[in-house]
Structure 1
Amino acid sequence: MPHARGYPPPGRVVIWRSAMLSGSETFVRNHGQALARWRSVYLGATKEESALAEESDLVVYPDSAAGRRAFLRLRLTGSSPRLTRMLARLRPDLVHAHFGGDGWLVSHAAAQAGAPLLVTVHGHDVTRQPDSSGILGGRYRRNLRTMFERATVVLAVSEHIRGKAIALGADPEKVLVHHTGVPVTPALATPKRWDVVFVGRFVEKKGVDDLIDALGALPTPRPRSLLIGDGPLRDRMRARAAELRLDATFLGAQTPAQVSRHLAESHLLAAPSKTAADGDSEGLPTTILEAAVQGVPTVSTRHSGIPEAVVHGETGLLGAEGDSTAIAHHIQKLLGNPGLRERLGRQARERVETRFDLRRQSDRLEELYDAIRAGAAPGVRSAVPPGRR
């Protein structure tokens, strides 16, 4: 065991997400499963019916009138005797919350349990939500500042998101960039069925409207395209694709295994993310990394943390946000040049292997957990070797 090599004995981390667990949040599930030395317990306020939900997940507020009232109290006050009691019974060495609002929800109970709090901020929690107007926006910003004060460490999924957290009041010494990573498994050997694949929620920040327009601007025969996911814009995008006579297949939400297979069956991934009108933006879309594992290059945008994963001309092609003309040009360029596609896909996988391997990133995360448990935070930067951040 690692303990014999000088590591501290295993610790217990409670991984907190208020809705346990949305089908799109593979990064939360992967996080706990990849830990080698620390034991993880998944704790949520409520249970989601999704492909990622597991029987072992613990839920604080069952779907009952009493449970809903207790959860409402937590959302309104940030305090819940029921949550405090459950954390006390679990006796965690550390609580790791995902998303800023959820970090605030669990912060009081973590303090009562004597457990240091680490919070990962991902995107909309430090972009769109703090920009909300009125009472709700003011309340969210206040809660976020409280979370920043209570958290021992704040992790950001990209440099862009780190800057957003600091601008909202987080202590720069507390905020570290940590790429969650993806499992680096052998690429699937499967024939190519699709020219272009899109994976994500059908919301404005994903830029699916720009992708549809880009595909419509290409000469016939149009690329055979697969669009995976659900969301409020899906029906509108399907209608627009029909209007443009695209060769497009729309699938709903898929399991992680199905997504991996569809990525492997595609020549390229389109991830045309952009900042939405309400300020919502990405952190770093996991699907870009998952495509790279399959040796599939990405056509994307210079948005948020995406350039940290997609290097223009080396692992994919990047254009400006909202530029459907550039998206169309880059799709056409890759589809018309198999050699370039293969080279970019190979280099994309190499970049994931060196910078975004879930196992390596989890090793680094466990080192951070060890440093926090040892009382080396705040100022924890000095406790984690520079090359291991």
Structure 2
Amino acid sequence: MSTEPETEQDAEWEGERETEPGRRVVIWRSAMLPGSETFVRNHGDALTRWRPAYLGAFRSESPLSRPDDVIAYPDGAGFLRLRLTGSSPRLTGALAGLRPDLVHAHFGGDGWLISDSARRLGVPLVVTVHGHDVTRQPRSRGAKGLRYRRNLRVMFARAALVVAVSEVIREQAIRHGADPFRVRVHYTGVPVPAAPPLVTKRWDVAFVGRFVAKKGVDDLLTALSTMTSPRPRALFIGDGELLGRMRDRAAELRVDATFVGSESPAAVHRHLAESRILAAPSKTAPDGDTEGLPTTILEAAALGVPVAATRHSGIPEAVVHGETGLLTPEADPVALAGSLTRLLGDADLRHRLGTQGRRRVLADFDLREQSLRLESLYDEVVSGATAHAGRTAG
């Protein structure tokens, strides 16, 4: 792969872009691609009119990594310069080699990392902000916080469009400098099977996510420890910095908990289908970190699995209390235990909420429909950039 910098689009590039079927979007994530970020891969793969190419700074060894992902810094050399300055001839060359019509970056920090290269090549940039990038990170103290907030403002100024995964995250992006007229909410889509799978239920409660403070695993374990008639069988899927501590906490509380670590998307779906309830006890972490809208909630609902969650960040935009799931206040294990007890004791309620939750996902969060809407946003951005270029030339 050539990494020589290119500063303008030559005639060969223009000819190729005119004759190839469909426009090309380069999907950028510095770590390509963590196992928890199925939403990045799913939306790229579901595009129908746009052709995706995946570009990363380095490879993340996970089930989502692919051999044909383009890696700009396979040996790590040069990445530090990019992180410190936001500019890199190697990244500009790698991006130019993919002949993009548009760049779509995920997370605010990564949007800044590639914004200079996109600007140098005259390629419009779309950046999706997901949660911690506009909640926790801008609140960092000292020089680190000052630098991040400055970079975020630069990215907002350079991006043609900022996409927020929920209304709450849109508000946070605007708070930190995004132009309200260039921030749009686009909900993450998830695959929806033709019908919920008919499987034997092995688990009473499932949790899927990273073991970090905002996920509220400690509250879930406390809630489960109070439920003894009968004691629920709980499955915990994922990894993260708090995994060891939460395992110890489960043993201390004598919770019937099985921890299986990180799993492939197919295995996660199988585990969810085998569960009676998904618990999503998210909360604001001590450092201000919050969710955007957890895709696991949507994945469970697509399978007809009811959700017990909290009124946190974008969750109420997907879960309607009493209609598609049950919601409780953040950091309230007693209330959470009440929701879990109610659902486990009422099969008809589980069926009703699961059925209605699935209908909600089909209406508003289906991957195919949301990817079509994403392509429409791409079209708007490119059309706007073309019109602007024409006015400038004139």
Do they superpose with TM above 0.5? yes
Residues 91 and 113, structure 1, Cα contact 8 Å, conserved in 2? no
Q: CA-to-partner distance for each residue in 1:285-319, whole Å, 9 max, x for gaps?
A: 00000001110010000000000111100010001
Q: CA-to-partner distance for each residue in 1:15-36, whole Å, 9 max, x for gaps?
A: 0000000000000000110000
Q: Please, which of 111, 120, 144 is the counterpart of residue 112 of structure 1?
A: 120
Corresponding residue SS for 2:133:
helix
Higher mean C-alpha deviation, range 179-188 or range 319-328: 179-188
- Shift, 1:219, TM fit: 2.4
Corresponding residue SS for 2:143:
helix
Q: How does 1:165-314 map to 2 (within 5 A)?
A: 165-186=173-194, 187-314=196-323
- Shift, 1:53, TM fit: 0.3
Residues 124 and 385, structure 2, Cα contact 8 Å, conserved in 1? no
Q: How does 1:46-125 map to 2 (within 5 A)?
A: 46-62=58-74, 64=75, 68-125=76-133
Letter in 2 for 1:22: P
Separation (CA, whole Å) in 1 of partners of 2:343 and 2:94: 53
Separation (CA, whole Å) in 1 of partners of 2:249 and 2:96: 52
Q: Please, which of 330, 335, 350 is the counterpart of residue 321 of structure 1?
A: 330
Residues 173 and 378, structure 1, Cα contact 8 Å, conserved in 2? no
- Shift, 1:69, TM fit: 3.4
- Shift, 1:377, TM fit: 9.3
Q: Please, which of 131, 134, 147 is the counterpart of residue 139 of structure 2?
A: 131
- Shift, 1:9, TM fit: 6.1
Separation (CA, whole Å) in 1 of partners of 2:36 and 2:387: 32
Cα gap change, 1:377 to 1:303, in 2 (>3 Å): farther
Separation (CA, whole Å) in 2 of partners of 1:337 and 1:360: 33
- Shift, 1:378, TM fit: 11
Between the two proteins, the alignment pairs up a number of residues equal to 368
Corresponding residue SS for 1:124:
coil
Cα gap change, 1:324 to 1:108, in 2 (>3 Å): same
Residues 20 and 53, structure 1, Cα contact 8 Å, conserved in 2? yes
Residues 280 and 309, structure 2, Cα contact 8 Å, conserved in 1? yes
Q: CA-to-partner distance for each residue in 1:119-146, whole Å, 9 max, x for gaps?
A: 0000000011110001011100000000
Residue of structure 1 in register with 2:372 after alignment? 363
Separation (CA, whole Å) in 1 of partners of 2:231 and 2:248: 17
Corresponding residue SS for 1:209:
helix
Residues 189 and 367, structure 2, Cα contact 8 Å, conserved in 1? yes
Higher mean C-alpha deviation, range 83-92 or range 357-366: 83-92
Cα gap change, 1:376 to 1:312, in 2 (>3 Å): farther
Q: Please, which of 335, 338, 346 is the counterpart of residue 347 of structure 2?
A: 338
**What's the TM-score, normalizing by structure 2?**
0.92
Separation (CA, whole Å) in 2 of partners of 1:15 and 1:110: 12
Paired-residue identity, %: 67
**Given the alignment of the two structures, is residue 44 of structure 1 paired with residue 56 of structure 2, yes or no?**
yes
Runs of 4+ in 1 over 4 A off after TM superposition: 376-379
Residues 46 and 60, structure 1, Cα contact 8 Å, conserved in 2? yes
Separation (CA, whole Å) in 2 of partners of 1:56 and 1:263: 30
Residue of structure 2 in register with 1:160 after alignment? 168
Separation (CA, whole Å) in 1 of partners of 2:248 and 2:230: 19
Residue of structure 2 in register with 1:23 after alignment? 35
Letter in 1 for 2:68: S
- Shift, 1:233, TM fit: 1.1
Separation (CA, whole Å) in 2 of partners of 1:376 and 1:301: 40
Residues 180 and 361, structure 1, Cα contact 8 Å, conserved in 2? yes
Q: Which runs of 5+ in 1 are unaligned?
A: 1-7, 380-389
Letter in 1 for 2:342: K
Residues 295 and 345, structure 1, Cα contact 8 Å, conserved in 2? yes
**What's the TM-score, normalizing by structure 1?**
0.93
Residue of structure 2 in register with 1:35 after alignment? 47
Letter in 2 for 1:309: A
- Shift, 1:376, TM fit: 6.5
Letter in 2 for 1:39: R
Computed over aligned residues only, the root mean square deviation of the Cα atoms, in angstroms, reads: 1.4
Residue of structure 2 in register with 1:347 after alignment? 356
